[in-house]
Amino acid sequence: MTVMSTPSSIAPRILISISDLRFSYGPAGAGVRPILEGFDLEVRESELLSIVGPSGCGKSTLLSIIAGLLRVDAGTVLVDGAERTEPGPDRAMIFQEDAVFPWRTVRANVEYGLQMQGKSRAERHRIADEYLRLVGLVDVWDLFPRQLSGGMRKRVDVARAMAVQPQILLLDEPFAALDVMTKEQLQLDFLGVWAKTQLTAIFVTHDLEEALFLSDRVVVMSRDPARVIRDVAVPFSRPRDRTLRTSQEFQELRGELAEQLRFETGDLEAIEAT
Amino acid sequence: MSTLRIAAHSALRPAIFIRHRNVLRRLVVPLVILGVWELVCELGLVRPLILPPPHAVWDAFTGMKGQLPGAILTTLSITLTGFLIGTAIGLAMGLVMAYSVIARDFFGTIFDFLRPVPIFALIPLFLLWFGIGKPPEVALVSMGCAVILGVSTSEAIRNIPSIYIRAGLTLGARRSGIYRTVIIPYIFPHLVGAIRLAAASAWGLDVAAEFMGSQQGLGYLIIEQQIYLRTAGIFVLVFVYCILAIVFDVLIARIERHVTRWTERRSAKGIVASIVGSQ
């Protein structure tokens, strides 16, 4: 396993710039303690960034804010220099819950975003087939989601989000509900798909190993208030395969981060399976 | 175990019996009722005015053959028109009330007020407002159906998992797009029960409407039979209503099966039977 110094020598452009974010559930100023306060984060173009942290630390909330699904009390989210407050296909999101539309066939699901963009039927077919091939579902295009396994439905979800050719891909613990085998396979396949598109992606997870295995950079968050307690460039070269997980460097880095997370949060149960 | 039993069956019984076993089983109870009915009448236990024997009902049917097609047509047109208008209005009201808070504030009160009102109590008013003839009858059927659909629609929309809406929004759907591509397809299977209920109610509302002031149609014929004490004729007309209602229900069920083929409740036996067993 080769260990590189820093990921890239070219100065990467900042695509997402989050500054001084404040967010609380419930009416503003109602004395509710905010989930996020004075939160800053920058994401570079074509970077696969993972955010890890204990449950309830606000990482999923942060993702929903970037997606435009939640309104902030204060602060800005700049994407490509412009403020985004409404949801849009430039920031496609993949959720932990099963979000595949059960009333649409696999292909119709993947075509959904394209249909919303008003693309022609032929165009939709072409793009959908391309992404179905990419996630390995080209043979089941005419099935309904209820006929697929959980892992396959997740693939549909990934294909659907990528088919709209977003600028940013937001992933909210997408594989958390899957069994370990399926999860590991999907992680590998996701890396394959991601490598082809080089999309800027933010991957929220509570699984440190998943975060290290997938990303270029890992941000560790703590809660109350949400803040970044560690920002690590992941030094492993790509393409990555299963053997990376068992390598000594990988395990050392994981152990170090887990230790720090336990220390910072004072919560031994915070990080599962580490 | 069950394969053994099936094998034993097919060895002993003719194949045609096996294939139609379900149909034959279903016929047992109606045939028994028919037999008891005839027997009770033959033994003179009940006066024919109260319960005419089955063969008298048949005679009444052959006697009314000439009148029936026209009456059926009238009744069908009232019931179906009322059902379609009412369903459309109810669906639209439900959707509009879910779409806009303003609409909900405006119409919600009226809707909540009308919901518990027994529709039949409105018959005299409808006659007063719309006169005698088809319009009040159609209006009555429509109103009954609209209330059923309106309530079910807003209820179904309230239960949509937000994940589908969030997913739609992040994939670039606007508000109207969410309605067209998420809300309507999602609620449809949940409305099937309401639509079937509305269809069944439509027949009842039609009968009531025709009782009040119709000059044609099946309900009117029933009143006519009653005046001339032709009990057998009433039986005939009740059967005709039954058959129409059943055919209509089966048609709706057919359409339902096609439109909701994405859901998991497709199998005829249903989920409970598949768990508990249906032997």
- For B188-219, what is each residue's pLDDT tens digit? 888 988 999 999 999 999 998 888 777 889 99
B114 pLDDT tier (thresholds 50, 70, 90): confident
Domains in chain B: boundaries: 2-45, 55-263
Q: Compare CB distances from B264 to A95, A146, A164 and report the shortest one's residue.
A: A146
Average pLDDT value over all residues in chain A: 88
Average pLDDT value over all residues in chain B: 85
Which of A72-81, B71-80, B152-161, B268-277 has the least mean pLDDT?
B268-277
Dihedrals phi, psi of A251, to nearest 5 degrees: -65, -35
The pLDDT of residue A273: 44
CB contact under 8 A, B163 and A67: no
**Same-domain status, A84 and A211:** yes
The pLDDT of residue A4: 46
A44 vs A6, more confident: A44
The answer to whether B168 faces chain A, any CB pair under 8 Å, is yes
The pLDDT of residue A48: 96
What distance in Å separates residue A242's CA from the closest CA in chain B? 31
Closest CA to B41 of B231, B239, B225: B231
**Same-domain status, A69 and A171:** yes
Pairing of strands A36-44, A14-23: antiparallel
Residue A77's alpha-carbon distances to A66, A208, A225, A247, in angstroms, are 7, 26, 19, 37
Sheet arrangement for strand A48-52 = A91-94, A168-172, A200-205, A48-52, A217-222, A227-233
**Same-domain status, A79 and A213:** yes
Q: Which residues contact A81 (CB under 8 A, 6 or more apart)?
A: none
Q: Which among A143, A165, A187 is the end of a domain?
A: A165
**Same-domain status, A55 and A186:** yes
Distance of alpha carbon A58 from alpha carbon A36, whole angstroms: 7
The pLDDT of residue A274: 45
* Percentage, residues of chain B above pLDDT 90: 43
B104 vs A17, more confident: A17
A62-112 per-position pLDDT tens digit: 999 999 999 998 999 999 999 988 999 999 999 999 999 999 999 999 999
B141 within 8 A of B86, measured Cβ to Cβ: yes
Domain that holds residue A215: 1-90+167-274
Q: Which residue of B has its CA nearest to A63?
A: B170
**Same-domain status, A3 and A45:** yes
Q: Which residue of A has its CA nearest to B259?
A: A103
Q: What residue spans of chain B are helical by DSSP H?
A: 2-12, 15-19, 21-42, 54-64, 68-99, 101-114, 123-130, 134-158, 162-170, 175-178, 184-213, 218-227, 231-259, 270-276
**Same-domain status, A107 and A85:** no
What's the start-to-end Cα distance of chain A, in Å? 22
| pLDDT above 50 (res B4) | no
B12-71 per-position pLDDT tens digit: 566 666 677 788 888 899 899 999 999 998 888 888 888 999 999 999 999 999 999 999
Q: Which residues of B touch A68 (CB under 8 A)?
A: 169-170
**Same-domain status, A99 and A228:** no
The answer to whether B263 faces chain A, any CB pair under 8 Å, is yes
A222-238 per-position pLDDT tens digit: 877 788 888 999 999 98
**Same-domain status, A85 and A210:** yes
A146-156 per-position pLDDT tens digit: 999 999 999 99
**A:173-232 residues touching chain B, CB 8 A cutoff:** none
Q: Compare CB distances from A87 to B163, B170, B186 and report the shortest one's residue.
A: B170
SS3 A16: strand
Q: Which residues of A touch B163 (CB under 8 A)?
A: 95, 97-99
**Same-domain status, A138 and A244:** no
Domain B55-263, CATH among 1.10.3720.10, 1.10.357.10, 3.40.640.10, 1.20.1070.10: 1.10.3720.10
Q: Compare CB distances from A88 to B167, B172, B185 and report the shortest one's residue.
A: B172
The pLDDT of residue A226: 81
**Same-domain status, A175 and A259:** yes
Q: Which among A134, A165, A196 is the end of a domain?
A: A165
The answer to whether B165 faces chain A, any CB pair under 8 Å, is no
The pLDDT of residue B119: 83
DSSP state of A65: H
DSSP state of A86: S
User: What total of structural domains would you count in chain A?
Assistant: 2
The pLDDT of residue B81: 96
Distance of alpha carbon A202 from alpha carbon B170, whole angstroms: 15
Q: Which residues contact B104 (CB under 8 A, 6 or more apart)?
A: B97, B98
Q: Which residues of A touch B168 (CB under 8 A)?
A: 112, 116
Q: Which among A133, A165, A197 is the end of a domain?
A: A165
CB contact under 8 A, A164 and B167: no
Please tell me whether the peptide bond between A239 and the residue prior to it is cis, using omega within 30 degrees of 0.
yes
Q: Which residue of A has its CA nearest to B181?
A: A112
| pLDDT above 80 (res A60) | yes
A61 within 8 A of A35, measured Cβ to Cβ: yes
Q: Which residues contact A68 (CB under 8 A, 6 or more apart)?
A: A84, A85, A86, A87, A88, A91, B169, B170
Question: What CATH number does residue A31 fall under?
Answer: 3.40.50.300
Distance of alpha carbon B154 from alpha carbon B146, whole angstroms: 12
Distance of alpha carbon A212 from alpha carbon A218, whole angstroms: 7
In sequence order, what DSSP letters do the residues of B178-205 get, joined into one string? HIIIIIHHHHHHHHHHHHHHHHHHHHHH
If you search the block for the tokens 């039949």, which residue do you land on? B120
The answer to whether A97 faces chain B, any CB pair under 8 Å, is yes
What distance in Å separates residue B92's CA from the closest CA in chain A? 21
**Same-domain status, A24 and A159:** no
The pLDDT of residue A94: 96
The answer to whether B182 faces chain A, any CB pair under 8 Å, is yes
Interface test with A, best of B160, B162, B171 (most A CBs within 10 A): B171
**Same-domain status, A268 and A195:** yes
CA atoms within 13 A on the CB side of B106: 10
Angle at A6 between CA A5 and CA A11, to 5 degrees: 145
The answer to whether A262 faces chain B, any CB pair under 8 Å, is no
